[in-house]
Amino acid sequence: MKRTAKRILSTLLIVVMLIGVAPTGGIDFTLNAKAMDLSSYKVGDLIEFGSYPQSEVTDEEILNGIKSVEDNYKWIDYNYYAGTGNWDDGNMKSVDGMMLYKDITYNGNTYRAVKINQYRPYWTCETSSASNSWQDDNGYYTNKVYYFKYEPLKWRVLDASTGLIVCDSAIDSQPYNNYILGADGQYWSDSNKKHYASNWEYSSLRAWLNNEFYNTAFSKTQQDRIKELTRENKSTYDSKYDSNPTSDKITLLSYDEVLNKDYGFNSSSEAYDTARQRKGTDYAKCQGLYVYNDSGSNYNRTSYWWLRSPDTSLNAGDVKVGGYMGGSFCINMTNEGVIPAFKFNPKSTICDVHEYKAVVTEPTCTEQGYTTYTCTKCNDSYVDNYTNALGHDFGEWKLTTPATCTEIGVETRYCSRCNVTQTRDVDKSAHIFGEWKITTAPTTISDGVKTRYCKNCDAFETESVGKLKAISVKLKNIETNYKKSGQLEPKITNPDNVGCKVEYKSSDPKCVIVDADGNYFAVKTGSAKITCTVTDEYGKVTTAECKVNVKYSTVQWIIMIVLFGWIWY
């Protein structure tokens, strides 16, 4: 079932068709291969000049060949526009990756690959969807890649004396202007409201014709044969919408020009003129061209195409399907055909039989080889017989800068064909360290440090050396008798033989006294604690205690009893 928006537009097209009159003709549009220069051509003769992607490639063998080399080429973004669905809010903008392309050379021919990631809306203000596009109606769908062959462009002679020619097919599908802003009762091509949306001088289509199309379709030699064309750009509706005159290499025809009998057109705007009818190429259909589809009509498969003439601030002139000249269309429609025109040098020779001289450019390591064919009679030229770049032929890697402890080294290799060099880094060499040496001696209270130095540079490493082991001391408790003396025998453990001093102290000198050498004497009965303090040479202190119990001996008890008994007696 036809989608609503498309059904409305299609119905409108049919109504337009029914308003016209019967088709007119009388000019034979066939390729003229006899005339030797353009001035001898007549109106309606066709010539071939330049090339552009046109026919879709369907041959499996050719497709496989193209695909075998396509990874050597990068995708390029068309930078096509989409919007919010509000047709004049000025919010339409380029959408990254909507559609991509790349030109591929294979077996002497050039092909264009087209990837459709999102449907291109038929108004730049619309969102991307199948219901807003003619691409799927034309058989082109998202998430697929299509391939089109570059083929010679056919041009129809309009005025041999001035060299004016026009393309014989709708070679692409583009909007007259990408941007539209409705404000102050008019429509503008910029947010600053400086120019009407239908202003040809500032239109995106004019820029596209003289940049993308011009540089894609024509070689440098061919570009030199295209002369600048100055034309007026008057509105078909009101002079306030006139654009300034423009001078371009590539342009479109105007409303008046497609009514010019001298150019072979019917002078009636209501005529269904075969001279104004245009069919689109496969490539144009892939871009979203509208194609009239009625197998019973004489105008089946024809398309709308743009004129450069402004109409209102919103619309520009166009030719309807079947060659009818009724009304105009909104400038941001992407489904109208592009029919380029230009001024060809009338004295340029158009050979019936070219005599080409071949000059071979050999491939290099990085550039393709090719053969340039230049006609010795008319200077026409083309390039063919592409050969792949050879790629570099590198020799073995050789060490050119040895690595050191502190600097990376370099290895180099050379291409035998072009002397291009490649280098790669060689990792720094490892340090060769000497023996560890104590640089900060350890103590019992702090770690030490040992250091070793690289024999080849100033690099060094350090490691911690553990603390010396602390001195430990132990004392045994002592049982002694009144008036007895003895020698303390502390058990001092000194694993690392550090220097130290030993001190003694009694907790009760009235009971037990002790001297600096550990000699103790029991002054009276009772008990006292003796503390042994060991202080090493680094100030670390270790202590131990023992308890000294002083009692009377048996003899001393007998003496005490006898003595006190005598005194009492």
Distance CA 562, CA 545 (A): 37
pTM of the model: 0.63
pLDDT of residue 260: 98
Distance CA 560, CA 567 (A): 11
Could you tell me the two tokens for 151?
């083929």
pLDDT of residue 24: 37
pLDDT of residue 3: 40
Distance CA 534, CA 543 (A): 6
Q: Among the residues of 249-366, which ranges form H helices? A: 282-286
Residues of the chain with CATH 2.60.40.10: 472-568
Distance CA 193, CA 189 (A): 7
Q: Are 291 and 273 in contact (CB under 8 A)?
A: no
pLDDT of residue 22: 34
Element (H, E) at 500: strand 500-506
Cα–Cα nearest to 113, from 144, 84, 141: 144
Distance CA 385, CA 370 (A): 5
Cβ-Cβ contacts under 8 Å for 222 (sequence gap 6 or more): 49, 50, 380, 381
Distance CA 45, CA 338 (A): 20
Q: Are 545 and 473 in contact (CB under 8 A)?
A: no
Architecture in CATH of 472-568: Sandwich (2.60)
Cβ-Cβ contacts under 8 Å for 298 (sequence gap 6 or more): 23, 272, 322
In order along its 569 residues, the chain shows pLDDT tens digits of 334 444 334 433 333 333 333 333 344 454 543 334 676 789 999 999 999 999 999 999 999 999 999 999 999 999 999 999 998 999 999 999 999 999 999 988 999 999 999 999 999 999 999 999 999 999 999 999 999 999 999 999 999 989 999 999 999 999 999 999 999 999 999 999 999 999 999 999 999 999 999 999 999 889 988 999 999 999 999 999 999 999 999 999 999 999 999 999 999 999 999 999 999 999 999 999 999 999 989 999 999 999 999 999 999 999 999 999 988 899 999 999 999 999 987 666 666 567 889 999 999 998 899 999 888 877 777 788 888 989 999 999 999 999 888 889 999 999 999 889 999 999 988 989 899 999 999 998 999 999 999 888 888 999 999 999 999 999 999 999 999 999 999 999 999 999 999 999 999 999 999 999 999 999 999 999 999 999 999 999 999 999 999 999 888 888 888 877 777 76
Could you tell me the two tokens for 126?
């619309």
Q: Are 136 and 335 in contact (CB under 8 A)?
A: no
The per-type count for the chain, helices as H runs and strands as E runs, is 7, 39
Distance CA 539, CA 50 (A): 99
Number of alpha carbons in the 13 Å side-chain half-sphere of residue 255: 20
Query: ∠247-328-196 over CA atoms, to 5°?
Result: 55
Distance CA 270, CA 527 (A): 139
- Give 277-296 as a DSSP string: --BB-HHHHHTT------TT
Pairing of strands 341-344, 164-167: antiparallel
What length is written for the chain?
Answer: 569
pLDDT of residue 382: 79
Q: Are 368 and 389 in contact (CB under 8 A)?
A: yes
